[in-house]
């Protein structure tokens, strides 16, 4: 009988030990499972496509670009006054403001002076459109390669000016390598980040070269932003209209024969667009009431 109880006690102790071990392992196993980060499709275009376009576009896209001033190459801004309609239609936002070109700076002091002016203009436009404090406004930087000290001063003043007005500074810029002398290559995004000091920009990069771009396609699982080659970016423009043949020659089919990119639900090919992917359905945090 004593031997029986001794044997029974040993069994119970072993069972309890296994249960404790499994209980201890349970939480650690759960912590080791990292959920896949979700990405979202969006688009941007310089000209507002019209209210009737958005039910069709919403079938593919979670967010839309939204200009606060006249886009590159345009004299007017057709997006003004459309925020509430788009928000009620279920769209998030990539809020954009056209930046300066290098030739607009004649001396170094022009950089910080014009950066401050543009920040004030962008903040005033954002407030008028109803974008809440904390919205990220992406400065559209069309030039690539290594930037001048004057241009970096312009960007610093842009960020500081937006911060004073309660907004965050983003940069839309090249994420494509540019060759310099001596076999050196530079990414504009890397150059901006390396010269930012303690300032923190949010990056929306373009790279339409295939690879890494998949071309003008809209998969059910949006392309990962990190695939762009700029791992710290929050959004990636992976296709443009019209396509740039020097970069897209190796792209799979997807671009229309006229060279533009269209939503798969745009059967009549009315709204050419640039295709984007982002780590958020509202990359600028601009859809909040």
Instruction: Encode the chain (289 residues) as per-residue pLDDT tens digits.
Output: 333 333 334 433 344 443 434 343 343 333 334 445 799 999 999 999 999 999 999 999 999 999 999 999 999 999 999 999 999 999 999 999 999 999 999 999 999 999 999 999 999 999 999 999 999 999 999 998 999 999 999 999 999 999 999 999 999 999 999 998 888 899 999 999 999 999 999 999 999 999 999 999 999 999 999 999 999 999 999 999 999 999 999 998 789 999 999 999 999 999 999 999 999 999 999 999 8
CB 188 within 8 A of CB 140: no
Predicted pLDDT at 5:
34
Three-state DSSP at 273 gives coil
| CA dist., res. 216 & res. 56, Å (int) | 17
- Residue 36 per-residue DSSP state: P
| CA dist., res. 83 & res. 272, Å (int) | 21
Predicted pLDDT at 181:
84
pTM, rounded to two decimals: 0.86
- For the chain, what is the total number of helices (H) and then of strands (E)? 7, 10
Residue 264 CB neighbour total at 10 angstroms: 12
Q: Is residue 188 within a helix (H) or strand (E), and if so which, with residue range?
A: helix 188-194
């Amino acid at each position: 009988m004593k031997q029986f109880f001794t044997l029974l006690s040993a069994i119970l102790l072993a069972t309890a030990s296994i249960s404790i071990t499994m209980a201890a392992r349970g939480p650690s196993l759960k912590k080791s499972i990292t959920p896949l980060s979700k990405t979202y499709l969006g688009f941007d275009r310089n000209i507002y496509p019209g209210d009737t376009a958005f039910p069709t576009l919403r079938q593919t896209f979670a967010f839309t670009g939204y200009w606060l001033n006249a886009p590159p190459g345009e004299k007017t801004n057709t997006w003004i006054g459309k925020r509430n309609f788009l928000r009620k239609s279920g769209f998030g936002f990539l809020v954009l403001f056209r930046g300066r070109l290098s030739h607009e700076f004649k001396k170094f002091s022009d950089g910080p002076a014009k950066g401050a002016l543009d920040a004030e203009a962008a903040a005033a436009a954002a407030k008028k459109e109803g974008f809440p404090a904390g919205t990220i406004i992406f400065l559209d930087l069309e030039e690539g390669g290594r930037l001048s000290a004057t241009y970096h001063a312009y960007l610093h003043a842009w960020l500081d000016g937006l911060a004073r007005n309660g907004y965050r500074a983003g940069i839309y810029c090249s994420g494509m390598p540019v060759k310099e002398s001596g076999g050196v290559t530079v990414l504009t995004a890397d150059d901006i980040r390396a010269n930012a000091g303690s300032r923190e920009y949010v990056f929306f990069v373009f790279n339409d070269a295939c690879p890494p771009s998949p071309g003008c396609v809209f998969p059910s699982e949006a392309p990962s932003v990190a695939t762009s080659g700029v791992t710290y970016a929050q959004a990636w423009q992976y296709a443009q209209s019209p396509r740039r043949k020097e970069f897209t020659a190796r792209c799979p089919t997807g671009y229309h024969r006229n060279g533009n990119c269209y939503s798969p639900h745009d059967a009549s090919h009315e709204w050419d667009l640039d295709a984007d992917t982002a780590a958020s359905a509202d990359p600028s945090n601009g859809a909040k009431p």
